[in-house]
Structure 1
Amino acid sequence: MDYWFVYIARCSDDTLYTGVAVDVKERIALHNAGKGARYTRGRGPLTVCATRRCRSKGEALRLEHAVKRLSRAEKLRLTQGRRLSAFARELSRQEC
């Protein structure tokens, strides 16, 4: 079973980028090589601030969407400690 990950990365211009990947390390390397998402081109190098493992691509995409709707301040809070994981658990409870 391949797990999917949601990640929050900091760009060189201090913006935050949220994405999903099976292999976060490989995906960040693609971003840094200018072959990732259009948003990250020219904003490298990216550094990973937080990750969360998800059981399925669908779960990862739902979490990514929820994170992308947050303000910068809220995203920064998620990068501290295990807050991204706690946010994901709370989100899954709300969906039930």
Structure 2
Amino acid sequence: MSAAEPKPWFVYLVRAANGALYCGISDDPQRRFVTHQSGRGARFFHSSPAVALVYVEACRDKSEALRRERSIKQLTKKAKEALVLAAAVQAV
């Protein structure tokens, strides 16, 4: 019997209506975004609603996602915007 593959986790960025970027992790970023849009899941969106899921990055497991989230949160806004732009270019 082989060990089960760890469930993939994701780090994501959501743009708020005021232009700010929120960074989080989830095993289902689309579902988490819907939660943010409904005003639940993070106090961050109480003052400015979630408007778009703008960046998603797959990670091996929850531990890796947490490490990546920490590193993204330390980036400047300009560097976070560069991640969003690079993801948009790849999607085209």
Q: TM-score range by the shorter chain?
A: 0.7 to 0.9
SS of 1:79's partner is helix
Unaligned runs of 5+ in 2: 1-5, 88-92
What letter is aligned with 1:50? Y
Contact 1:34–1:42 (CA<8 Å) still a contact in 2?
no
Unaligned runs of 5+ in 1: 83-96
Please name the residue that 2:66 is paired with: 61
Point out 4+ residue stretches in structure 1 off by more than 4 angstroms: none
What TM-score results when the alignment is normalised by the length of structure 1?
A: 0.79
Please name the residue that 2:14 is paired with: 9
C-alpha distance in 2 between matches for 1:79 and 1:4? 18
Tell me the percent identity.
Answer: 33
**Quick check: which one's strand share is greater?**
2
| Structure (1 or 2) with the larger CA radius of gyration | 2
**Residue pairs, 1:76-91, within 5 angstroms:** 76-82=81-87
**Residue pairs, 1:35-46, within 5 angstroms:** 35-46=40-51
Equivalenced residue count is 83
C-alpha distance in 2 between matches for 1:3 and 1:9? 19
RMSD, matched Cα? 1.5
Q: How far off is 1:17 after superposition?
A: 0.5
SS of 1:40's partner is helix
Q: How far off is 1:44 after superposition?
A: 1.4
What TM-score results when the alignment is normalised by the length of structure 2?
A: 0.82
Q: How far off is 1:72 after superposition?
A: 0.4
